[in-house]
């Protein structure tokens, strides 16, 4: 329960389905606190922040360049949302939230013959698409960024804390952890146009202006809550975009709270109001997280049927529970990420008699497909038309119909495609109908 709450909080400034980032943030924050307490009596020469900023800029441009290269190489419009399937892995990407720079992480793990991670996307789908030396450059740049985050914290940032009160230090250290973690994470996972990177950068600028006594920074304590209220109002009346809109409000209000809390003189009632305002935005943003939490906490009685897709055997399997357990416990035992809704239990969280969830999709492959070449089973039916030329590749329109208790749609599709020899493909602008799991 506590971990779910922390995970929901981390998603505000470092969004994503993976739980690994939550663990990494907790460790990072604890490391910075320990580092500060250990070095309280020592003084170091302050470094110029421009080198940290330059490294971040290069990493963001690096990720943007990889995304543009991948899109143009496949003759796609820059605004395309697509899923890449390769090396037995899958990863989605778009200009607004790109994942291709994560291949720099996969490149490091590839030296240890490890690129597949059942619980997370580590960028393994892009290995072999981007030249290895370019990915190695990204790997080295990531290591440099991590080292710089620690180095600047122990030198320049620590010097900034010297004349601050205990309250200010607590807010500033927490703020440094939030913003540095968000910027480094989104430089790989999110990109230059991700909301986390843009808003984090804005608050870095506001903080710099405040330290230079610029009056504009102080006006923000009025402007920030107004902007947050505006996004919350849009979120309240919006039916389709509640997650992203509420996330904007929550992130702006979180940074506003941290920024005000680190002021030399504050009014307790203003801090309290900002806290309540932030909690309201977090509550609105957390609807999606609560849905996953509610899903994962569903108890399956002993003897329950549980449908899931086995990626190893590439088959639909039915497990009969031997004892009462939650979906989270079962997903963990199957080494599946519960955020992807991997398990369906008839009569509990799905109904087999309902119309089959279906979605339409465009497939890009190196080899053409004959009409309806993909296998159809009782649980999974893939209907495809005849392939047509798409540059040096082939384009195929498909319709996928699933057993209503099979919820992990893109993972299932990846397994069915690779089972039929399609190990290098793109799924273009997938449109889902009735499926609760959009990758």
Contact between residue 122 and residue 20 where contact means Cβ atoms under 8 Å apart? no
Close Cβ partners of 158 (under 8 Å, ≥ 6 residues apart): 36, 39, 44
The whole model's pTM is what?
Answer: 0.86
Q: How far apart are the first and last CA of the chain?
A: 24
Q: Give the residue from 273, 291, 309 where a domain finishes.
A: 291
Total structural domains in the chain?
Answer: 2
- What average pLDDT does this structure show over 20-29? 91
Q: What's 154's DSSP letter?
A: I
Segment 368-418, tens digit of pLDDT: 888 888 767 788 888 888 888 888 888 998 888 888 888 888 888 888 888
C-alpha span between 430 and 262 (Å, rounded):
45
Does residue 269 sit within a domain?
yes
Containing domain of residue 19, as a range? 2-60+136-291
Among the residue ranges 64-78, 97-111, 137-151, 205-219, the one predicted with the least confidence is 205-219
Does residue 210 sit within a domain?
yes
What's the chain's length in residues? Answer: 439
Residue 422: how many other CB atoms lie within 10 Å: 19
Does residue 93 sit within a domain?
no
Does residue 310 sit within a domain?
yes
Does residue 96 sit within a domain?
no
Does residue 125 sit within a domain?
no
The pLDDT confidence band at residue 289, using thresholds 50, 70 and 90, is: low
pLDDT of residue 8: 82
Same domain? 279 vs 150 = yes
Same domain? 165 vs 27 = yes
Same domain? 324 vs 394 = yes
Is the pLDDT assigned to residue 288 strictly greater than 70? no
Contact between residue 18 and residue 91 where contact means Cβ atoms under 8 Å apart? no
């Amino acid at each position: 329960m506590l971990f779910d709450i922390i995970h929901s909080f981390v998603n505000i400034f470092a969004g994503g389905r993976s739980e690994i980032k939550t663990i990494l943030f907790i460790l990072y924050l604890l490391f910075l606190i320990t580092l500060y307490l250990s070095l309280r009596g020592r003084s170091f020469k302050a470094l110029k922040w421009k080198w940290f900023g330059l490294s971040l800029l290069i990493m963001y441009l690096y990720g943007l360049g990889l995304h543009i290269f991948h899109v143009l190489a496949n003759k796609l419009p820059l605004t395309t949302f697509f899923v890449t399937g390769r090396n037995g892995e899958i990863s989605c990407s778009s200009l607004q939230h790109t994942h291709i720079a994560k291949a720099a992480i996969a490149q490091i793990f590839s030296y240890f013959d490890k690129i597949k991670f059942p619980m997370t996307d580590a960028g393994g789908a892009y290995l072999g698409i981007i030249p290895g030396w370019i990915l190695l450059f990204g790997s080295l740049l990531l290591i440099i960024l991590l080292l710089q985050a620690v180095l600047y914290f122990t030198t320049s940032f620590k010097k900034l804390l010297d004349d601050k009160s205990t309250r200010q230090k607590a807010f500033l250290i927490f703020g440094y952890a939030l913003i540095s973690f968000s910027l480094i994470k989104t430089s790989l996972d999110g990109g230059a146009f991700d909301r986390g990177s843009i808003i984090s950068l804005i608050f870095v600028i506001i903080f710099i202006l405040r330290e230079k006594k610029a009056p504009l920074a102080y006006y923000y304590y009025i402007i920030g809550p107004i902007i947050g209220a505006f996004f919350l109002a849009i979120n309240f009346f919006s039916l389709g975009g509640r997650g992203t809109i509420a996330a904007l409000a929550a992130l702006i209000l979180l940074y506003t709270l941290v920024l005000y809390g680190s002021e030399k003189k504050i009014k307790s009632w203003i801090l309290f109001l900002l806290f309540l305002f932030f909690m309201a935005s977090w509550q609105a943003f957390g609807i999606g997280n609560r849905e996953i939490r509610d899903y994962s906490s569903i108890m399956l009685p002993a003897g329950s049927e549980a449908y899931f897709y086995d990626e190893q055997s590439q088959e639909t399997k039915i497990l009969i529970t031997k004892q009462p357990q939650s979906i989270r416990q079962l997903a963990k035992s199957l080494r599946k990420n519960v955020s992807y809704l991997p398990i369906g239990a008839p009569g509990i969280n799905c109904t087999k008699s309902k119309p089959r969830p279906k979605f339409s999709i465009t497939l890009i492959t190196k080899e053409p497909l004959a009409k309806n070449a993909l296998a159809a089973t009782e649980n999974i039916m893939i209907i495809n038309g005849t392939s047509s030329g798409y540059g040096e590749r082939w384009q195929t329109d498909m319709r996928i119909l699933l057993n209503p208790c099979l919820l992990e749609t893109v993972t299932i599709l990846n397994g069915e495609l690779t089972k039929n020899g399609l190990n290098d493909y793109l799924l273009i602008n997938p449109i889902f109908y009735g499926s609760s799991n959009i990758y």
